[in-house]
A and B are shown apart, each in its own frame.
Chain A
Amino acid sequence: MTDQALHPDAPADAALHGDPAKMQISDEVAIRIAGMNKWYGSFHVLRDIDLTVHRGERIVICGPSGSGKSTLIRCINRLEEHQSGDIIVDGTELNSDLKNVDKIRSEVGMCFQHFNLFPHLTILENCTLAPIWVRKTPRKEAEETAMHFLRKVKIPEQADKYPGQLSGGQQQRVAIARSLCMRPRIMLFDEPTSALDPEMIKEVLDTMIELAEEGMTMLCVTHEMGFAQAVANRVIFMDQGQIVEQNEPHEFFRNPRSERTKLFLSQILGH
């Protein structure tokens, strides 16, 4: 992976990953963020964020820790509240109206660094819970959908186990399947591989790549630069709560323009 990042000219593994450029991006706007600011107390974590995400776009957000990248995507489904500016997801404005928040949350899937599976429920129950209780899907149908997505993430045989019995990589794939069961139109990933062993990172990334190939709109906070190269249409670099640079991945890695970006890239790729 590092190898590829060090030599951005090398073609991505086309057979497995497909060619990012060929994937369809529509003109339809999935997420529009305009002039958004957020403070924790008096600490200004997000400063004047403007970001438009089109349907089918795959965006990788990177940056040093504390740069606000996680906070940014957590604002999109209101796990964090923004204090000024607009966030419009799928035409619904995110404001204090709880109905809007619930609507957006049920259409936006999210995967966390620590998976956050429900430990008291089986894998299958983890996947059927939201469809049954939020979407009012009949149990049988929800279970069929869940098995479909568990097969997709290649762990249907674990359906009756509990999360505590699975490896980290398997748990993260279940978390992805759990989100997909809600048939989201947008997926958010908050450092999905940061808590995993190197061996397990690959199985999770493969799942995410497959998802990208199917045209899912994805926003992904990650340090996996190989993944960024393989599937992203756009890489966003954040520092001190601001978007410092964004570009398509090829250019971003080969010709970073800001000094801050250059320094960051040299630090994460330079060993």
Chain B
Amino acid sequence: MSDVHAQTVPFVRKSMLPEAEPPARQRGVPLWLRENLFSGWFNTILTILGAAAAIWLVASILPWMLRGVWNADSLRECRDIVIERYGEGVTGACWAMIRERWPQYIFGMYPQDIFWRPTLAFVLLLVAIAPVLYLSLPRKLLIFSALYPALAYWLLWGGTIWLPVMVLVGFALGWGALRLVLPRFGAIVATAVAVLVPVLWWGLLAGDAAQDLQGLVPLALRPVGSAAFGGFLLSFVLGVTGVSLSLPLGLLLSLGRRSDLPLIHYLCVGFIEFIRGVPLITLLFTASLLLNYFLPPNSDFDIILRVIIMVTLFAAAYIAEVIRGALAALPRGQYEAADALGLDYWKAQRLIILPQALKISIPGIVSTFIGLFKDTTLVVFIGLRDPLKGVTDMIRQTTAWKGIYWEPYIFVGALFFVICFSMSRYAMYLERKLERGH
């Protein structure tokens, strides 16, 4: 025993071992397969069942899709072509409907000769959101982003350009009033004045001013009513406006819910809980039907505007809760450090708390946005032509495409998927970009 000990315990290595590869079974594809697909009898069975289900699904759908007909004028013609090509009893998709009717899916009943207007508005939308999404782009581009809503409104709805310009002037007046009053009378008075001045401007003067200016410099596009909007144009108008308005509103609500001032706190709690407590459909019906009872008779309050307000309020309540969760997750020390450095409440929120809270809440916020975008299809219930059912029903009512079923849903579903998936990928990109190594 002691001999063995004497030989084994003292040890000096004479040469260092070279690095070696793990055995074949422990690396590369075999390892991955074994760890992920066949790591036990139960998982092996699941893998086989899963693979079989996937193969069966693809095998039953793919041929139908590939047999699809792209050139035809009616569903009847589609079916004849499939039978002619593949024989009696075989079915195939009829993509020809999409080929013929896609302008309606994109633009709804928007007048055909001015499709360039929504198209231009869409292209400019990409320009306007680029600096918002990508922080590396020059910040000066944000000026265009700020002007874009007015420009898009003018392009889409037409009419005189002076109306959106006068609305912008209202914002400028508010800003000017804030700068003028803030140093003299403090934050509360300044905020009140900054809200009151533009509201008075819009309510009393803006309309007349726009008319007078239109008389002086006539610059107008053919007006298009909200009833003509439909398809993805409608979804985008509702979705983009809802997203861009609900984030700031949700932010304020989340801060309000954490406020020490009881009035603000309970207002925000009440609002959030009410909105989250009722289905979106209820709010949409309220927008389309009930509001009319409260508005003065004959007042023309645009239906799309009403829906935008409801969708925004709905999403804002959810976003408020997502952000509140992130605010609660921030260590108390962050608030204390901001306080100790002498930052006031708004500066601390803006510079320290919200940048961190928003980063934490990116996944939740984007989920809410995706939900909001998909929920825009619910406007079909108040008579607007959403792409999924509104436009599809409209097309099915024509004799040529009566009876078509799967194709429109697949098409619209695919487009929704592309848009929502892009949002989710962007969120992942943003999270990675904001990662700060801890």
Contact = CB atoms under 8 A, between A and B. Distances in A.
Contact of B347 (A105, A133, A164): A133
The 8 closest A-B pairs by CB, nearest first: A164-B438, A106-B342, A116-B337, A116-B333, A130-B341, A105-B342, A110-B340, A162-B436
A114 B351 contact: no
Interface stretch (B31-39, B164-172, B294-302, B352-360): B352-360
Interface string A98-121: 100010011011101011111110
Contact of A164 (B342, B352, B436): B436
A222 interface: no
Contacts of A133: 343, 347, 351
Contact of A114 (B333, B339, B340, B347): B333
A21 interface: no
A120 B340 contact: no
Interface string A53-78: 00000000000000000000000011
20 contacts: A78-B339, A102-B344, A105-B340, A106-B341, A106-B342, A114-B333, A116-B331, A116-B337, A119-B438, A120-B359, A120-B434, A129-B343, A129-B352, A130-B341, A130-B342, A134-B342, A162-B436, A162-B438, A164-B436, A165-B438
A77 B344 CA distance: 14
B437 A164 contact: yes
Interface residues of B, number: 21
The B interface, classified by DSSP as helix, strand, loop or mixed, is helix
A110 B343 CA distance: 13
Interface string B320-338: 0000000000010110110
Interface of B: 331, 333-334, 336-337, 339-344, 347, 351-352, 355-356, 359, 434, 436-438
Contacts of A182: 341-342
Contacts of B352: 118, 129
Contacts, number: 73
Interface in A69-102: 77-79, 98, 102
Interface string A169-197: 00000000011001000000000000000
Interface of A: 77-79, 98, 102, 105-106, 108-110, 112, 114-120, 129-130, 133-134, 162-165, 178-179, 182
A162 B434 CA distance: 11
A134 B437 contact: no
Contact of A116 (B336, B342, B351, B355): B336
A130 to B, nearest CB: 4
Contacts of B336: 79, 112, 116
B430 to A, nearest CB: 13
Contacts of A179: 340-341
Contacts of A129: 341, 343, 351-352
A136 to B, nearest CB: 12
Given A118-B334, A129-B351, A105 B436 contact: no
Contact of A120 (B337, B343, B347, B356): B356
A35 to B, nearest CB: 25
A102 B348 CA distance: 13
Contact of B436 (A114, A119, A130, A178): A119
Contacts of A112: 333, 336-337, 340
A178 B341 CA distance: 9
Nearest to A111: B340
Contacts of B337: 110, 112, 116-118
Contacts of B437: 162, 164-165
B88 to A, nearest CB: 67
Nearest to A164: B438
Contacts of A77: 339-340
**Residue among A78, A108, A119 with max Cβ neighbours from chain B (10 Å):** A119
A236 B219 CA distance: 78
A109 B342 CA distance: 9
A20 B347 CA distance: 40
Contacts of A162: 436-438
B359 A79 contact: no
Contacts of A102: 342, 344
Contacts of B355: 120
